Each structure stands twice: as structure tokens, then as C-alpha cells.
Structure 1
Amino acid sequence: MMGMRERYGALIATVPVPGRGHRTHHTEHELAADRQLFANDFGSGESYIFDLSKPLAPRLVRQFEGAGELMHPHSFWRLPNGNVLTTLQMQHDEQGTAPGGLAELTPRGEVVRIASAARPGVDRRVRPYSAAIMADVDRVVVTTSDMDNRDTTRALQFWRLSDLSLQHTIELPPGPRGDEGYRSAEPRVLRDGASVLVSTFNCGLYLVRDVSGANPSAKLVASFPRKPGTSCAVPVVAGNFYLITVPAWSAVVSLDVSNPEQPREVSRITLGPNDVPHWIGIEPNHQRVVITGYQAMKTRVLLAQFDARTGALSLDRRFRASGSNEPGFRMENTEWPHGGRGAAVPHGAVFSRPSVP
């Protein structure tokens, strides 16, 4: 039997899902206490719930297509009551008409309530993408990127959590380059519980204030260069640090955001010139970061070490396939535990929860 050192970086279990034409995509960003993981497949529009309570024997427990008149769920976030909030990109019709909306689901994926973003004065191209839940002020901050890249807006929305009513829609202001505010991507609540940083796929970083007030606002506080055909993407918050992918640098960057008006870079991991990091997820104890991406990273998973005191990042070179000198695990021509052989494109990635004695 292999020891832990020999197994580090080894693929130990997989779960096949029914159907074809999959485009595996987002998962929850953290594994919930019930160890049920919501994940979507944007190719088919199906979403899945996996039971990960037995890590060596994960299983698919349910799949669903949408919520009422809305379809193509994208992001999933746990609510204080234990239910799940999901953003849905579009209307449930043959054209996939915008705008989409929000839905509250039970942990089994059953619909509790649905709310459409179709409101007077709201841009008809709006497609809810991701969310930040702020239960203390009864708000949800919602970004609005189109996964199919048909429509592009600068919209950012503010919903009331208690009844899922849309309160405000604002536009992210342009920056020096002119396009930083387009394609709002991921909102994250900072350590103070009141400030929100919103990243855009166009590599802008916006500080949002007065979330629950009558006039919420957004200010560009940082921007990164854009590489054609790529997008700055999924960030994480760890204490006073904000980690984000910057494809133009082939890097994951660590920013000190203790003063969110002036984010300051403290560290970065620079990968290969053709690596395009996209998704990052952080371990519950903030010691490691998982990285997936595109182009040369398309079939690869990397791990990085993170110092929560200083914000320093370093590539974990111990995490690699057996017999390989290349960091990370590459899913090409892989023997799958459930049978068969082939390549995979990892995307959403989340750490397991530590066992409770």
C-alpha cells in the first residue's frame, strides 16, 4: 500500500456522469459542511450534486437542468440557512434569451424560489454570472458576464437577499484603457465584511462601497494587462490578501488589500509562457492553492503553497505525477479509476474539508 508521500499527486477516484457534449465548468468554491458539492456543465446545461462524504468513494446523487423558467446555472453559493443560491444565465427557451436571474435551492437541488433579472430599465443583455452574499446587510452582489460571449455589458447588480428582489443595477466605470469595466466576473467580500472587490474578465479590479445603501458605487482600484484571447478570472480572499490570475503574465498574483483603495502586489507565481491560469481555490487552512487553466495548462492541475502571514506564493513542486519531473498532474492519456482512458480538462477545483474528530 502506498504511503501518503507516494500518493501525493496521484488520481484516486473519479465519477462519470451521464450524457455527452459536456463542458465541465464551475463548482462551489468551498466544500460545504454537508460535503455535498454542486457543479455545473455548461455544455449540456445540466448541473450535478456529488456526495463527497467518503472521499475515496464519491458518488453522483442528483442532476438537474435549471430552475423554473430559468436555465444554465453557473455559480453556487451556500446561504446562512443551509440552502444554495445559484445564478442562472438565461431564460428557459430555445434561444437562451437574456436576462437570467437567481434561484434559491435546497441542498438536494429542489427549487425554493426564483427571481428574474428582467426588470424595467435593466439592460436586456444581462446574464447573472457570480455572486457575493452579504447576509448581515441583506444583500447579494451579482456580476453579469455572458458565458457564451454573445453580449457584453458593464453591469453590476445588487439584490436583496431576504426576498431576492433586484434593488440596483450600476455600470462599472471605464479605466485608462477604456474596457476594464466590461464582463464583470467575480465579487468577493473582504475581511472587514463591508467592502467588496469585483474582478472583471477584462482585468479590472473594482472596489464597491455602500452595498446596502441607496447609491452603491464602484471605483477602479487596480488593473492588469490583457493578453488577447484570455481573461483575468477567479480570485480568492485569504485574510488581508487577494489572489487573482493574470494570464498576460502567466501568473497568479497575491495582493495586500488591507487598504482596499490601494491594492499592493506582494508575491506572484510565474508559470510557463503558454500557461493561462484561470481558476484558483484555497485550502480551508489557507496553506495551499489549487490552479487550473487553459492553453498549455488545459489538462493540468497545479498546487501552490501560500503563507497567510506574508501573502507569499510558491509553486509546490512535490505535487506531480509519479515518475515525472514536471510540477502538477496532467490529465492526458489518463487511466481513469472508473474505467477507460483519455484526456480531461479540469476547471472548477475545491479542497476537501478536514475531518472533525
Structure 2
Amino acid sequence: MSAFVVGGQSVAQDDAGKYLYVWVGDRAGEGNDFVTVIDADPESANYGRIVTSEATDQRSVNAHHTEYEMPASGMLFANDHDANRTIILDLTNPLEPRQAAAFMNLGGYSMPHSFVRLPNGNILATFQHAEHQAGMNMPVMSGGIVEINDKGEMVRAVSNADPAFAEEGLLPYGLAILPEIDRVLVTNSPMGDDWLMTSNTYQVFQLSNLALLGTYRLDPGPRLNGHMSPEEPRVGPDGTVYVHTLSCGVQRVTGLDRPVPQAQLVHQYPGNWCGVPTIMGRYMVQAVPDIHAFIVLDISEGATPVEVSRLEMGDDFHPHWTAWDPQTRRLVVTPGRAGQRMYLLKLNETTGALTIDETFRGEDGEIGFSFGSRNWPHGWTGEGAPHGAVFSR
């Protein structure tokens, strides 16, 4: 539900799943990051076409993560990671998106990566670096997690440094919150090359006071690399946490409310550099770039997930981002390379089969949406580099 002003009156509108917000950079790095709004209403005559776009004041360096779901407040966090700057987008009126605020370092930490909403409506974010380490040209060994309100103000912050792992890089990457058991799981994985394929830890914090409860290693598995560079954690239907690794492992973490949790490698996809996963009910969808495909696992049996389908996207497609629309039951997927299109996928929730929504077409009439060079509504001309994408609610 969103609201906008017509004739001086605030008008409520049910926009669930009708719009798609995509965070986009200038592929050439000369223009500014922007948000584009795309018609995602299958009943609309303009389904798949641009509604509007709006530039921010951030010069494009690496437009990266947004939140994974549209927040109830309509204030979406979207970062340019390499610029160390996060923009807060006011999307309460989808026809008039605007930049509401921005921030860089908070609480002594820099380079935020992932954002998850807390029950109180604030953001909990991972910050990869501690300011004092980066400022002294020291090796960055740890970062922190920070609670932030919709104005971009810090509410509280805590370091993730652990003396028992003082010689390792503990650089916070992704996080999952479990309010029912007062826990936060944080993965450690660098955005840069430092420790890239040696990072193999996750940490557990108490949600209520952000106290660090422990740092633990993941399970290497039979190929001995299934634990390398853990990235995005997702809470499964049974309350356990599934962590995907850059080495395409799927780690299942149990016992998070116990003194010592346990991580088990329960699946490993082909190749490396797996992208952003999404869990929808009993299914988990994973972007697998090495085979240019999406793989669907049935995780209803927890420790023994079963692959139920693959959707091959073509020999050169490089899938990365995935985000689910629980209202209209669709998945948006964005590519990681130039010249490739964004698609909407449909999931058969009985069989787990994925298919491309062939009715979602851009202005050129082709399936999917192109970010190729064009005149964008906000007055800029060039090729966009999409990353985060979420549906309206």
C-alpha cells in the first residue's frame, strides 16, 4: 500500500506487485546512479515498460545492493558500494520517486553491504570495515553491524571483531534476523580480493543487544571448498538458516538458539561465483553463472535438499540478483553483465519448475527489459547497469 497527493489530499493505492523498482548505475561510470520504475502489472497495457526514472546525486561507481524486499515505510535503502555511500529512496509515490537522504560511514564503520528490516521498522546493516583500520592503512580485519532509521541516522552499532579470530578477516557481508529466538546470523566475506577464498566463518549475535555470541566455521564438504566466501543467508521454512557461498555451496545452520550452532554443507551447485538466492516457501532459487542458469531446490526435507528444476538462460547470460514478489508470485532476476536483459520468472509451486514470463516485454517488444543505451525519463542518455530490484507492496 502506498499513498500520494492528488489535489492536496493523500490518496491510498494498492500497489502490491504493480511496480518494479530497479537500482541502476551508469555502465560507463560517467553519469549518476538512478532508480527506474517499471510497470509490473500483468493486467496493464504497458506491462514491462518504463513508468519513470529519477537520478540521485551519487556519481556511478558500483550501484550495488538494495534491500531484498520493499519495506512497509516505502523508504528503500540502495548503496553504491565502491563509493561507500548509501541512498535512501522515497518510493511512497511510485510515479514520483525521489532521494530522501544519504549516508556514508556510521558508528565508526564503512562500506555497508546488506540491509535487512527489523521488527521495529529500522534497518540492520553489515559494514565491512572499521574506520580506524582503513584510515591508518592497516589491513582491515573486521567491521560491524549498525542499526539505522529511515533518515539515515545511526541508532546503535557494534563491532564484529573476535579476539579468537584476530588473524583472520572477519568482514561482514550478509545477515539474517530471527526475532523469535533473539538472534542475528552474519556471514563474513570480503567484497575485495583480500581473503576472498579463505573466508569461511559466520557469526551469531543476540538481536536485542547486538552482543556477539560466537564466531564459527562452515563445513567444507566433500569437495573441500563448499565453505569458501559465505555470502547471503536466508531463513528457511523450518526456521533454520541457509547460507550460500561464493563457491556455490549451500550451508544449513541449525541450533542458533543453543550454545554452539552447527553448519552442514547440504548441497553444492556446479561452478563458482554463485549469485543471490531467494527462498519461496519450500523452494530455494539460486543464480548459477557458470552454467548460465537458475537452479531450484526443494528444501522441505531440510538436511537433504533435492534439485527439482533448472532454467537455462542461454550460453552467455550471467544471472546474479533474484527477488520474490509474494503478492503476484513472481521472481525478478537481473544480469551481471552488459547488454543482457532483466526478466520476470514464474514458479510452479507444485513442481518447482521455473519459466520465463514471455508477456513481460520492454518498449522494443522483446522478452524481458533492456538497460541498453537509451534516453531515460530523467534526462540522461546511456546504458544502465542494473543490480538490486524489488517489487512494490
State the TM bucket, normalised to the shorter chain: over 0.9
TM-score of the superposed pair, with normalisation by structure 1: 0.93
Please say if 1:178 is aligned against 2:227: no
Please say if 1:328 is aligned against 2:368: yes
Counterparts of 1:1-357 in structure 2, within 5 Å, are: 5-92=44-131, 93-94=134-135, 95=137, 97-123=140-166, 124-152=168-196, 153-193=199-239, 195-227=240-272, 231-285=273-327, 287-295=329-337, 299-325=340-366, 327-353=367-393
Indicate if the aligned counterparts of 2:82 and 2:111 stay in contact, CA closer than 8 A.
no
Q: Which amino acid aligns with 2:51?
A: I
Residue 50 of structure 2 aligns to a residue whose secondary structure is coil
TM-score of the superposed pair, with normalisation by structure 2: 0.84
Q: Which amino acid aligns with 2:345?
A: A
Q: Which amino acid aligns with 1:335?
A: N
Q: Considering only aligned residues, what root-mean-square deviation do their CA atoms show, in Å?
A: 1.8
Indicate if the aligned counterparts of 2:253 and 2:263 stay in contact, CA closer than 8 A.
yes
Between stretches 119-128 and 253-262, larger displacement belongs to 119-128
Q: Which amino acid aligns with 2:158?
A: A
Q: Distance in 2 between matches of 1:339 and 1:169?
A: 48
Partner of 2:24: none
How far is 1:5 from its partner? Answer: 4.2
Aligned residues between the structures: 346
How far is 1:9 from its partner? Answer: 1.3
Partner of 2:19: none
Indicate if the aligned counterparts of 1:299 and 1:346 stay in contact, CA closer than 8 A.
no
Q: Decide which structure has greater strand share.
A: 2
CA offset digits 1:58-91 (Å, max 9, x no partner): 1110000021210111111110111110000101
Between stretches 115-124 and 255-264, larger displacement belongs to 115-124
How far is 1:19 from its partner? Answer: 3.6
Q: Which amino acid aligns with 2:333?
A: I
Q: Distance in 1 between matches of 2:123 and 2:165?
A: 25
How far is 1:175 from its partner? Answer: 1.9
Q: Which amino acid aligns with 2:385?
A: V
Indicate if the aligned counterparts of 1:187 and 1:198 stay in contact, CA closer than 8 A.
yes
How far is 1:10 from its partner? Answer: 0.9
- Provide closer, same or farther for how the CA distance between residues 19 and 207 of structure 1 changes in structure 2, counting only shifts above 3 A: closer
- Provide closer, same or farther for how the CA distance between residues 21 and 55 of structure 1 changes in structure 2, counting only shifts above 3 A: closer
- Provide closer, same or farther for how the CA distance between residues 11 and 98 of structure 1 changes in structure 2, counting only shifts above 3 A: farther
Q: Which runs of 5+ in 1 are unaligned?
A: none
Q: Distance in 1 between matches of 2:340 and 2:317?
A: 11
Identity %: 38
Indicate if the aligned counterparts of 2:79 and 2:86 stay in contact, CA closer than 8 A.
yes
Indicate if the aligned counterparts of 2:218 and 2:263 stay in contact, CA closer than 8 A.
yes
CA offset digits 1:118-164 (Å, max 9, x no partner): 22112441110010100111110111110112223101111111111
CA offset digits 1:294-323 (Å, max 9, x no partner): 236x65211111223332210111112223
CA offset digits 1:249-275 (Å, max 9, x no partner): 211111111101111122221101111
